[in-house]
Structure 1
Amino acid sequence: METMTTSHSLRSTSINPANLIELELLSQIVTQKQSANDIRGSIPYLAKMAQIIDNQRLETTVAASSPQQQQLQQQQHTLRLLQADAHRQLGQAYMKIGQYIQAEASLTITIQRLESLLKDDNAATSHSIIVNQLIEGYDLLKECFELLGKPHMVQGMENRKRKYTTPAPAPTQATASKDKSSP
């Protein structure tokens, strides 16, 4: 009698296949609920999706080669993007039904994930996408703080957003000539 090898088992170095099926079904339910304007009814499903994605763990090998390490970093990057998006959707749903404290919590997680990605991100193409998502997150959280009556937090979001929307100052003549003289 032959035994099954591990190559045929349901192991994943990215997202658990069973979770993918569950996420797809939950996503379909959310779409149905929201298309019928049942935002409140979609929230438990959005929360479950966020929970599944948050609890997803990637398998790491101790002695990963450089290509394997790069692949793992890309998967971690994608996972954090998914986490940020799941919490953004949940936060937006909470805002639509007036549950601003829950919206604040979810949107704060979104911003934390995106800011973390910016710190670790080396790819210029995904950098601009992340910055755009981060600016959207700041706007959503700012709106939430306005509705909660937290003007100091509104100002904080405006300041953080300004960091990404204000162009960097052009180098002055003194800095440009100083750079030329450096070896």
Structure 2
Amino acid sequence: MYKNIFKRWLDFTISVIALFLLFIPMLLISIAIKLDSEGPVIFKQIRLGKNRQEFTIYKFRTMVKNVSEKDGIVTRSSDARITKVGSFLRKTSLDEILQFINVLKGEMSIIGPRPILPIQFEPYLDNPRYCKRYEVLPGLSCTIDIKNRASFNRDLQFEMDADYVDHISFIQDFKICILLAKTVFFDRKIYEDEE
């Protein structure tokens, strides 16, 4: 009941409210990005969604023009591709608030396995346990972000995703939201080289 109906209703309601409340902040972020560096305000990229269907994810651009994470995942706080405004947006996770649009469109959920690039899952296609992450909509955040926000360990991530799918419930999603809020506000470590 929750997984198939109520969760989607919550996602839709929360995303509508969030986009309304965040309209002014998003406008200010857009202006800051344009003043900080050349290039578009919005970064778009193909990710894998439910049932491994591809969709376009939206983020505020945090890197310099004409580069993307396909050129290498950002794992260092000193990565020269990240703009000054982009560094702040990444540390506060504000670069991802545009994904409420994806939630509104039904491509993502508030809580769910983080969507990754199609090529990043290719080595794991034969692992039925890890494929469970595609039984649900991808999310803005999931359990991997609580204690391992800076980790790029895919095995750890996919195992935690599978465990999330196995135990999906309103109570679990609520607990994740509370713990994530604590992580975002008090743990700013988003790169593996940060102490």
Larger relative helix fraction: 1
Larger radius of gyration: 1
Higher relative contact order at CA 8 Å, sep ≥6: structure 1 or structure 2? 2
User: With structure 1 as the length reference, what TM-score do the two structures score?
Assistant: 0.27
Larger relative strand fraction: 2
User: With structure 2 as the length reference, what TM-score do the two structures score?
Assistant: 0.26
